[in-house]
Amino acid sequence: MSLGRPPVRIGIVGGGMISQVAHLPFYLQNRSCEMVAVAEARPSLSAVLSKQLGAERVVPDYRTLLADPSIAAVVICAPRPATGPLTLEALEAGKHVLTEKPMAHSVAQAQRLVDAAAARSLIYAVGFMKRYDAGVQAAKTLFDRVLRDGRLGRLLLVRVFDFSNAYAMAPPPHHRPAESRSERFATWDLFPDWLPEPLRNDFAWFANAGSHDVNLLRYFCAGEMTVSGAERMANGSLTALLRWGEVPAALEVSKTTAGRWLEGAEFLFERGRITVNIPSPMAVDAVAEVVLDDLAAGLAGQIVPGDNGWCFARQADGFVDALTGGAPPLTTGAEGLADLALTERIWRTLES
């Protein structure tokens, strides 16, 4: 926090599991911000949060946060169909926003949000916290350096995969609601309007489950990617073959519950390889493991050192830093829009 600058005031929309374990604690402990209130209408969660935070920090209606001129930003943890409309309402109220992923379910929806933020010069971030994973960041630094210096030769293949359908471990302690939602939010469709009806449920699944992987693919392979082909199976699997310049890239997403988290990336070069093994999102003390094979240096299976810290905590600190004049978020709404554009190109290939 800059000398003399008051803490930025933040509200949270939603008090469910992901809010309790992955957002709220980190805004409470960051001295550069003040966590003003959580908006939660479910009585059982409101009661628990009131005991933890104080009754004055829990409100039943999210509009209370949006109407408060002293609150600069909101973090939105809402049902997926409601995320887009809530984000639009918050941006139109003049609030900076960090929202859980996916930001929306079509390019048209996402464009509305990005335009709303740009028109008001607001910071808009999407919760692709894996870009904040210290191991992922170490891998990105290494990958970029190897591309520049050419020590591993030409890049031959990029592969990003996600074979996980469950956290594979218990989330940190949290309270679950005892009742269903009584508050009904406005919702948007979970698919683009051009998509045929038989593909819509699977698209909604992929837009959620595969969104991190599309985002990570674009993080490493910056710039335009083209779609060469794609195949979807009714059993809950999708593979896509893309091209990044002259380099083929494979994206593989499947609904697998194997007892452990199976997600990562491989970058195959003429004379070596970089491998990234990504931990479960609920692995509080783990970061992605980065392994380097470098033939010329005689390295085989070399673990690449990196920083530490849970990616959700690092994401929260990154958002607060952006709000207080630091670097922009790693996961802007514009990045999320580009992710959805690539996702739609994949599904147009499937539809055709």
Residue 191 has pLDDT above 60, yes or no: yes
Residue 174 has pLDDT above 60, yes or no: yes
How confident is the model over 55-84, as pLDDT tens digits? 999 999 999 999 999 999 999 999 999 999
3-state secondary structure the chain: CCCCCCCEEEEEECCCHHHHHHCHHHHHHCCCEEEEEEECCCHHHHHHHHHHHCHHHEECCCHHHHHCCCCCEEEECCCHHHHHHHHHHHHHCCCEEEECCCCCCCHHHHHHHHHHHHHCCCCEEECCHHHHCHHHHHHHHHHHHHHHHCCCCCEEEEEEEECCCCCCCCCCCCCCCCCCCCCCCCCCCCCCCCCCHHHHHHHHHHHHHCHHHHHHHHHHCCCCCEEEEEEEECCCEEEEEEEECCEEEEEEEECCCCCCCCEEEEEEECCEEEEEECCCCCCCCCCCEEEEEECCCCEEEEECCCCCCCHHHHHHHHHHHHHCCCCCCCCEHHHHHHHHHHHHHHHHHHHC
Q: Does domain 133-309 have CATH number 3.30.360.10?
A: yes
Please give the pLDDT value at position 181.
Answer: 81
Residue 352 has pLDDT above 60, yes or no: yes
Using CA atoms of 220, 160, 264, 304 in order, give the dihedral in degrees to the nearest 10.
Answer: -40
* Predicted TM-score (pTM) above 0.85: yes
- As a whole number, the mean pLDDT across the chain is 96
Is 8 within 8 Å of 320 (Cβ atoms)? yes
Domain residue extents for the chain: 8-129+313-338, 133-309
**Confidence band for 119, pLDDT divided at 50, 70 and 90:** very high
Residue 186 has pLDDT above 70, yes or no: yes
**Confidence band for 233, pLDDT divided at 50, 70 and 90:** confident
Residue 5 has pLDDT above 90, yes or no: no
The pLDDT of 157-173, averaged and rounded, is 95
Please give the pLDDT value at position 4.
Answer: 66
**Confidence band for 3, pLDDT divided at 50, 70 and 90:** low
- Residue 328's alpha-carbon distances to 223, 318, 321, in angstroms, are 18, 8, 8
Homologous superfamily, domain 8-129+313-338: NAD(P)-binding Rossmann-like Domain (3.40.50.720)
How confident is the model over 198-215, as pLDDT tens digits? 999 999 999 999 999 999
Please give the pLDDT value at position 1.
Answer: 43
162, 157, 145: which is closest to 244 by C-alpha? 157
**Confidence band for 218, pLDDT divided at 50, 70 and 90:** very high
